[in-house]
């Protein structure tokens, strides 16, 4: 006798799919904490979000950081030693490793293009990238000084980067029509915004300016007043942090090298 199957209504079907999806887990390595945490795997709707931001992305803003952070909040599986609020502590170096771990669950193989014109590409194993992240060591904060100014720098969190990107996107898209002067100002503000992202505190003699308590526009206005010699040191430090990640994400094939980009395309490749 054939076993009868139950025909579920829409709500029952959705609840069943949601329950089953919790069984599909991805273990993610977090470099800043030197331990693993757990998330639910990406679903088709979340991959669709990555596709939509690739289609809609303009020169003025990228929504990847905010979309990715929303997915992290939605997919986190809480454990005794990692709770929902702990997500706010993860930095943008963690973001790169988490993204690679998520992508590995789709496939451990990733096609990397080394020279588009010459049609040179190969598949690499993401396990190799994750292994490099597991041995990664880096300073989470540094201090630069040029009397009487002292600047405390740190690696921004995933949450902070997402908030930055949303605020920048909001400011830049108020009016879709831009003059040449407005475009020039956008580029300058983008540069100052990216720089201010790494500033935690500025101390002048005995007075402190806490950047975490400022709005984006206030941060930009203070950053543009920083002496050039100090600004260059901030840029050098931010660049060094970026190089730290790029070295992990850089792969080789014959005489070619390429760096894996952490963006929406990663999840559609």
Q: In what order do the strands lie in the sheet with 149-154?
A: 141-146, 149-154, 199-204, 207-210
pLDDT value at residue 52:
78
pLDDT value at residue 183:
67
pLDDT value at residue 187:
73
pLDDT value at residue 44:
82
d(Cα 97, Cα 145) in Å, to the nearest integer? Answer: 31
Do the Cβ atoms of 61 and 134 come closer than 8 Å? no
* Angle of helix 64-75 versus helix 158-172 axis, rounded to 10: 140
Query: pLDDT tens digits, the chain, 269 residues: what are they?
Result: 455 566 666 666 556 556 655 667 899 999 999 999 999 998 888 888 888 777 665 533 468 889 999 999 999 999 999 999 999 999 999 999 999 999 999 999 999 999 999 999 999 999 999 999 999 999 999 999 988 999 999 999 999 999 888 877 776 665 555 677 776 777 777 788 889 999 999 999 889 999 999 988 899 999 999 999 999 999 999 999 999 999 999 999 999 999 999 998 898 87
Q: Where are the domains of the chain?
A: 21-137+253-268, 141-244
Do the Cβ atoms of 106 and 267 come closer than 8 Å? yes
pLDDT value at residue 54:
74
pLDDT value at residue 178:
64
pLDDT value at residue 83:
94
Both tokens assigned to 247 = 């070295």
d(Cα 137, Cα 98) in Å, to the nearest integer? Answer: 16
Torsion of CA 254, 264, 154, 80, to 10 degrees: -110
């Amino acid at each position: 006798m054939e076993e009868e199957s139950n025909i579920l209504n829409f709500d029952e079907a959705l609840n069943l799919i949601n329950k089953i999806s919790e069984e599909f887990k991805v273990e993610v390595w977090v470099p800043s904490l030197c331990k693993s945490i757990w998330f639910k795997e990406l679903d088709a709707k979340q991959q669709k979000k990555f596709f939509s931001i690739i289609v809609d992305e303009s020169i003025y803003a990228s929504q990847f950081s905010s979309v990715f952070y929303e997915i992290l909040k939605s997919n986190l599986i809480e454990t005794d030693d990692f709770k929902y609020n702990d997500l706010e502590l993860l930095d943008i170096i963690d973001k790169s490793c988490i993204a690679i771990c998520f992508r590995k669950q789709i496939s451990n193989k990733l096609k990397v293009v080394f020279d588009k014109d010459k049609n040179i590409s190969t598949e690499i194993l993401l396990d190799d990238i994750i292994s490099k992240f597991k041995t990664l060591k880096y300073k989470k904060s540094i201090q630069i000084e040029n009397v009487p100014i002292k600047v405390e720098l740190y690696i921004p969190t995933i949450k902070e980067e997402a908030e930055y990107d949303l605020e920048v996107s909001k400011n830049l898209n108020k009016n879709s029509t831009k003059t040449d002067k407005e475009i020039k100002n956008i580029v300058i503000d983008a540069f100052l915004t990216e720089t201010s992202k790494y500033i935690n505190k500025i101390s002048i003699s005995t007075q402190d300016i806490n950047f975490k308590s400022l709005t984006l526009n206030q941060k930009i206005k203070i950053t543009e007043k920083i002496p050039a010699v100090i600004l260059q040191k901030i840029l050098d430090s931010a660049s060094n942090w970026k190089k730290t990640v790029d070295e992990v994400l850089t792969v080789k094939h014959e005489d070619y090298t390429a760096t894996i980009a952490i963006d929406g395309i990663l999840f559609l490749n």
